[in-house]
Amino acid sequence: MSDFIHIRRDLHQIPELGFQEFKTQQYILNYIATLPQERMQIKTWRTGIFVRVLGTAPTKTIGYRADMDGLPIDEQTDVPFRSTHEGRMHACGHDMHMAIALGVLTHVVHHPIRDDMLFIFQPAEEGPGGALPMLESDEMKQWMPDMILALHIAPQYPVGTIATKEGLLFANTSELFIDLIGKGGHAAFPHETKDMVVAASALIMQLQTIVSRNVNPLDSAVITVGKLTSGTVQNVIAERARLEGTIRTLSPEAMEKVKGRIEAIVRGIEVAYDCEAHIDYGSMYYQVYNDETLTNEFMQFVEKETNVRLVRCQEAMTGEDFGYMLARIPGFMFWLGVQSPFGLHHAQLNPNEQAIDVAIQLLTRYVTWKGNHHVKEEEQ
């Protein structure tokens, strides 16, 4: 078993929510402290970490990002290294992401490349969103990379699969919270109340007309209400209701359109059911849009590798705040196959750990080639 599988298992046991990754941050810093320090510069930002590895003759900086946070999920696996934090789990593979990043970092420290590399350990990807504030931090502005890349585990693909595409890879996403406030009362006297169960039910049905009647059929959008909370007991009419959901679109324009329609429908609910309503969009993530030139170059590189298989995939409605970084820095994200019967955010997700070494080997070869590539260009 490789050292980085051990690291992944250690990290898997201490999942922490966004901007609470104190143990995770300290674990990573402790590991980095074991590496030769001569060519490393380290800065912390909140619960995140920047590690700059100086190249031998740099002309650019290659950025690599790994997210750090877990999810508020009770783990239901039987692995011996299951989460020790009750109600918390690395159910999106960020423990894998960090272990892979540390593997690449270790290689670059011991085997210098010409260009600088910036390793970004980013908190709060799952929420409230760490990429945008980290991108705008003074620390990152001082070390802004010229290109950036990241990966995400993919349970649907076998180990050894690398899946990506040029252009749009992940959707625009936004959380959605709607609170309805009416007037509660006894179930025997409904005429004296303003029933928010009825109002919420009507609102949910109307929200489902937005995609079918307001979004261009050639575009795509999803509105999901995943949680509805209302009422206290069976014989009391509910005074409040809360809807919690998500919006996903394949274009920023569609996101704007969907939100406009949600707001109009909610205003109508206020009038129709004589209630008060409040909308909160929570965390919003910008689309992951892969740079065409860099992505094609990476895919051509992968196709020449013998131990991995390239899949040109379709865009997905998943959300990732790495999109904010790609909006400002040329780069790309790709899926890493980990072959699990349970999907992302599932309490029984158990990725195949062999994918860790597959990713480290591929990425170290890629950044070595990319980080020394300008030598060939200069000689031409």
Kindly give, in sequence order, each residue whose CB lies less than 8 Å from that of residue 88, ignoring residues fewer than 6 positions away: 15, 16, 17, 70, 71, 72, 73
Residue stretches of the annotated binding site: 92, 94, 126, 152, 345
Of the candidates 216, 7, 240, 44, the residue with the CA atom closest to the CA atom of residue 130: 44
The whole-angstrom separation of Cα 195 and Cα 278 is: 16
Please pick, among 21, 75, 115, 126, the residue that the annotation labels catalytic. 126
321 in active site: no
16 in active site: no
Q: Is 250 helix (H, G, I), strand (E, B) or coil?
A: coil
Please pick, among 16, 67, 95, 115, the residue that the annotation labels catalytic. 67
Amino acid at 339: Q
Alpha helices in 176-251 (DSSP H): 196-214
Kindly give, in sequence order, each residue whose CB lies less than 8 Å from that of residue 289, ignoring residues fewer than 6 positions away: 167, 168, 169, 323, 326, 327
- Residue 92 structure tokens: 């999106």
177, 280 contact by CB (below 8 A):
yes
**Positive or negative, the Cα torsion across 23, 286, 180, 74?**
negative
SS in 3 state form for 255-274?
A: HHHHHHHHHHHHHHHHHHCC
Residue stretches of the annotated binding site for Mn(2+): 92, 94, 126, 152, 345
Beta strands in 140-263 (DSSP E): 147-154, 161-164, 167-170, 172-181, 185-186, 221-230, 236-237, 240-249
Residue 128, preceding bond cis, omega within 30 degrees?
yes
Residues marked as catalytic: 67, 126
